[in-house]
Structure 1
């Protein structure tokens, strides 16, 4: 499998790496600057210790270059590609002190992103043959959203709204406030449509079958069926009848996702892609010459 995940916005990548390097070595790398000769050079290989889907190899290289632009880098495996244990993913060569200073930040990021990409690829494979699209959620690591959502794309998944500024998504707490205020959800949606620009996407979450018709009739673009059983999802898809996209959310795991996809929903949102993905085991083997 190889997929084209697009790119990470340069400003987002730069901000993450600068913050991480400052956190890791606020006054320099005392160990390397004390023990490693200034003239020493190092060649380091980023090597897979388990199989997976790669994401963040260019982030790894960018961390090296942020420390020292003279570090040379060769990428052997592209983001979005599968790899096997023992495979060399990238090689960097440069001043040993610089390589050692960038090592942990670069590794942390490529391991985290590859874990997300690998998890996403498993979910995508599980729904193969259906029309369902696997998407992430806003349950991302604070400050790392742009990178983690890129990793989801590396695994063949898709992104939900990026932020609260991107779309209307009324969830259970919004509906509770409307109910307390005595405002019917259908009325609230129609009033919102009158105020919003025509390009703004409107989605509403429901948790019961009887809530579907008032929401869909008000003109939403997507209706989210939250914590519905597969049988309830089938009924929900029937009630919506193509008038809006149907998103399934809640209770989604690798064990349940295939049954959810088989109900005919259009989108399956999976918070676990980012909030529960395990960092992949990648190593950096360094050979130093003085």
Structure 2
């Protein structure tokens, strides 16, 4: 279940930087108290119900510290787990278990929190045809894992960064002199640079929706901070001539009514910027 942006090189680079941050010149607590040849077992146990994510990281993390460590994954990414479930077992050098414990837990707890929230919101809009999107509101240097967790939870990734899609938000349009000027400048730029990028335009009212349609070449129209009534009117006016995306302060209480307006996508920044990590613990066997 790895999206294309989750590469082996990217994962290894992330783990390198994380160990440099955490281990420094050594885990002196373990070096002082645990003998180098001590070999024991440990397990991961769930302290909360939720959707698990990050299981694939365990062998990548612990193999750096103990190439002979055995790892038994008892669930897979995307599985629903319950409090008390043992999800993974380790057997290897104790120093390696302790050295990799916090990195694995930090990643899995956050990823599982994101996957759980994504699954909950996806269920709330089931049957409407709308798809749940993430945003760029991610933790610096954690975007790969956080967007991966959204996919594991059943959501869809929006653009990965500033380079793989054009998104003309209100500030772009205001600085450029309006939607028409902004879109026309963008089409000229894409033509001159030979880039083939989709164009999305943010709109704040029906008049701006009409302008985005009139200028042409817009692949998706964002309906930002509109009421369900306004969104319904906008979707009906667009009439399939462009994809539509709802955005702006959407919550568990409002997401169903937003989905029922007929929008194609609903983007929720809270999937990654305001998530509660799922509680997971590592215990000595």
**TM class, shorter-length:** over 0.9
Runs of at least 5 residues in structure 2 that lack an aligned partner in the other structure = none
Q: Tell me, what secondary structure is at the counterpart of 2:64?
A: helix
Q: Tell me, what secondary structure is at the counterpart of 2:99?
A: helix
Aligned to 1:60: 58
Q: 1:14 offset after TM fit, Å? A: 1.1
Deviations 1:138-189 (A, max 9, x none): 0011101111111000100010000111011100110111118x97345335
Aligned to 1:285: 283
Aligned to 2:209: 212
- Quick check: 2:61–2:104 contact (8 Å CA) kept in 1? yes
- CA change 1:139–1:203 in 2 (3 A) is same
Deviations 1:102-121 (A, max 9, x none): 11111111111001100100
Runs of at least 5 residues in structure 1 that lack an aligned partner in the other structure = none
Give the TM-score normalised by the residue count of structure 2.
Answer: 0.94
Give the TM-score normalised by the residue count of structure 1.
Answer: 0.93
Q: Distance in 1 between matches of 2:180 and 2:218?
A: 17
Aligned to 1:246: 244
Structure 2 residue corresponding to 1:33, chosen from 23, 31, 34: 31
Structure 2 residue corresponding to 1:21, chosen from 9, 19, 22: 19
- CA change 1:189–1:18 in 2 (3 A) is closer
Q: 1:194 offset after TM fit, Å? A: 3.9
- CA change 1:200–1:190 in 2 (3 A) is closer
- CA change 1:212–1:183 in 2 (3 A) is closer
Aligned to 2:75: 77
Q: Tell me, what secondary structure is at the counterpart of 1:57?
A: coil
Aligned residues: 283
Aligned to 1:148: 146
Task: Using the TM superposition, name which of 69-78 and 182-191 deviates more.
Answer: 182-191
Q: Distance in 2 between matches of 1:84 and 1:230?
A: 35
- CA change 1:40–1:206 in 2 (3 A) is same
User: Does residue 188 of the first structure (1) align with residue 177 of the second (2)?
Assistant: no
Q: Distance in 2 between matches of 1:5 and 1:58?
A: 9
Aligned to 2:271: 273
Deviations 1:26-62 (A, max 9, x none): 0111011111122211211111111110110111332
Task: Using the TM superposition, name which of 63-72 and 153-162 deviates more.
Answer: 63-72
Q: Distance in 2 between matches of 1:119 and 1:200?
A: 30
Aligned to 1:123: 121
- Quick check: 1:60–1:109 contact (8 Å CA) kept in 2? no
Aligned to 1:232: 230
Please report the RMSD computed on the Cα atoms of aligned residues, expressed in angstroms: 1.8
- Quick check: 1:48–1:89 contact (8 Å CA) kept in 2? yes
Deviations 1:72-129 (A, max 9, x none): 1011100011111111111111010111111111111111100110010011001011
Q: Distance in 2 between matches of 1:196 and 1:238?
A: 35
Q: 1:133 offset after TM fit, Å? A: 0.3
Q: Tell me, what secondary structure is at the counterpart of 1:184?
A: helix
Q: Distance in 1 between matches of 2:24 and 2:183?
A: 54
